[in-house]
């Protein structure tokens, strides 16, 4: 369909919660194609609708590697229904060009959602896989949460943002995740 502009960190709409999709209409199908086209054009692993200025609960992911065929997965109105374990992950985001920092994520998750045809599905992602981390990352976008809100070291994250001329981190938006921190401390 179309390659859309990816909003950069600092755009207020990236912090807005998204609305549920009531019907998988032509408009939503077109949005899904735009998300996939845009994600692939930027060599991304995932992209959420709010990142292209559409505040609806839709994201796409493709964790296929270079030698694998494309394997896009569409999530409409997703809900994370189970989560356990903890993993430290070095993440970036298409809304934060070139900026990466360490974040806390759940190691195992289960998500239910609708696919691009409006059919419900349940998916499990385990062992801190790229898929597990990507689902959590994109899911957060739907609630106005960004990956830096999960940073392990606030000062390291601030340095990265400064290095790439991105807006400052908002300490009030950092998410306290005691259970993840305790789990990670056990693994160190």
**If DSSP codes are grouped into helix, strand and coil, which group holds residue 79?**
strand
138 is annotated as an active-site residue? yes
Residue 45 per-residue DSSP state = S
Whole-angstrom CA distances from 12 to 15, 17, 53, 151, 174 are 6, 11, 10, 20, 17
Asked if residues 121 and 148 have their Cβ atoms less than 8 Å apart, the reply is no
Of the candidates 98, 138, 158, 181, the residue annotated as catalytic is: 138
Find residue 113's DSSP bridge partners: 121
Annotated catalytic residues are 138
């Amino acid at each position: 369909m179309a390659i859309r502009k990816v909003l950069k960190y600092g755009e207020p709409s990236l912090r807005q919660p998204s609305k549920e999709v009531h019907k998988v209409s032509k408009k939503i199908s077109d949005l899904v194609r735009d998300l996939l086209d845009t994600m692939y054009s930027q060599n991304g692993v995932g992209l959420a609708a709010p990142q292209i200025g559409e505040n609806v609960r839709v994201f796409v992911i493709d964790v296929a590697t270079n030698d694998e065929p494309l394997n896009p997965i569409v999530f409409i109105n997703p809900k994370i229904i189970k989560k356990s374990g903890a993993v430290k992950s070095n993440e970036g985001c298409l809304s934060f060009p070139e900026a990466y920092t360490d974040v806390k994520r759940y190691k195992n998750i289960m998500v239910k959602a609708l696919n691009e045809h409006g059919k419900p599905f349940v998916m499990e992602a385990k062992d801190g896989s790229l898929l597990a981390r990507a689902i959590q990352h994109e899911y957060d976008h739907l609630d106005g949460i960004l990956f830096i809100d999960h940073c392990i070291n606030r000062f390291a994250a601030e340095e990265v943002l400064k290095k790439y001329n991105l807006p400052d981190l908002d300490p009030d938006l950092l998410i306290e995740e005691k259970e993840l921190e305790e789990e990670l401390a056990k693994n160190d």
